[in-house]
Chain A
Amino acid sequence: MKRINWQIWAGFVLSLVAGLSYPFVFVRWPVTREFPWANLVLFAIALVLLFFGLRRAFKPEKRIVSKIFSSLAAAFGLLNLAALLFLIFVMGSWLPASLAAPQVGQKAPDFTLTDSNNKPVTLAQLLIEPINNKQPKGVLLIFYRGYW
């Protein structure tokens, strides 16, 4: 019976997990989001498995199919790693410079916007309205992309 090259399969699957677990799992915590420690560890294990699987498939007595498949699996693993690094370090930096955004010490421009109850609210109001019956010490304005 043909013995399966489990190393190449495991490496292949793990490299998929190593890539996909970033946007689905590790992006939730600052420690693993800002620098993908967890994913790099998973990729390291995946690449080791792929290496051993590649070595096994390239033994002289192995069929050409094994060699082709294992080469593709290894290439896929490396591509996954490259894609993750590109996403985080290249695409992540594709942000506008926002040079005119208010600096520390400057006045934050006042504005009026609607809240989630369709009520108009001004920044001035948000700075005065009490929190737990006490005067606020400040407002943290968080600009974000939206829910999607």
Chain B
Amino acid sequence: MNNFNDAGIRIVAISVDTPEQTRVHMLQEAGYSFTFLSDPNLEVIRLYDLVHAQEIASGRDIARPAEFLIDPSGRVRWRMVTENFFVLARPEQVLAAAKALP
């Protein structure tokens, strides 16, 4: 995460987890320190067309994995909308894309 701070990139993670669940599992247990936002009603997830309906492992509607690098004007400069759940954006890829930002 220090690499991202140094690069001036704020990491914001969004899921259907409630603030309480995030505090317990992501902040306390896993020790992540970046910004987590809760979208339990899938409002934003739907807005971004990332709804994974009745996901097989949980049986619930959740977000499919996706990453968007957004510049200060609000424009998407890089994105990863993976075709396989096990293939996610690597930090090096994002940092390389961040270098291209003004």
Which residues of A approach B to under 8 Å, CB–CB? 27, 30, 33-34, 88-89, 91-96, 98-111, 113-118, 121, 123-124, 126-129, 131-132, 134-148
Closest Cβ–Cβ distance, residue B94 to chain A (whole Å): 6
Segment 21-40 of B: residues with Cβ below 8 Å from A: 21-23, 25-27, 30, 35-39
Known: A127-B70, A147-B26. A94 touches B79 (CB 8 A): no
Which residues of B approach A to under 8 Å, CB–CB? 4-5, 7-17, 19, 21-23, 25-27, 30, 35-39, 43-45, 47-53, 55-58, 62-72, 74-79, 81-88, 90, 94, 98, 101-102
Instruction: Tell whether, in the assembled complex, residue B12 and residue A105 are in contact, meaning their CB atoms are under 8 Å apart.
Output: no
Instruction: Tell whether, in the assembled complex, residue A92 and residue B9 are in contact, meaning their CB atoms are under 8 Å apart.
Output: no
Task: Give Cα distance in the complex from A139 to B78, angstroms.
Answer: 11
Closest Cβ–Cβ distance, residue A19 to chain B (whole Å): 15
Task: Give Cα distance in the complex from A109 to B47, angstroms.
Answer: 8
Task: Give Cα distance in the complex from A30 to B92, angstroms.
Answer: 11
Instruction: Tell whether, in the assembled complex, residue A146 and residue B9 are in contact, meaning their CB atoms are under 8 Å apart.
Output: no
Tell me which of B7, B15, B52, B53 contacts A137 (CB under 8 A).
B7
Known: A115-B37, A136-B8. A146 touches B74 (CB 8 A): no
Closest Cβ–Cβ distance, residue B9 to chain A (whole Å): 5
Across the interface, name the chain A residue whose C-beta is closest to B22: A116
6 further A-B pairs in the complex, CB-CB below 8 A; given A91-B85, A115-B37: A34-B86, A108-B74, A113-B43, A123-B74, A141-B69, A146-B16
Task: Give Cα distance in the complex from A95 to B36, angstroms.
Answer: 23
Instruction: Tell whether, in the assembled complex, residue B67 and residue A113 are in contact, meaning their CB atoms are under 8 Å apart.
Output: no
CB neighbours (8 Å) of B10 from chain A are 126-127, 129, 131, 136, 138-140
Across the interface, name the chain A residue whose C-beta is closest to B94: A140
Known: A96-B52, A134-B8, A136-B9. A141 touches B62 (CB 8 A): no
Instruction: Tell whether, in the assembled complex, residue A131 and residue B67 are in contact, meaning their CB atoms are under 8 Å apart.
Output: no
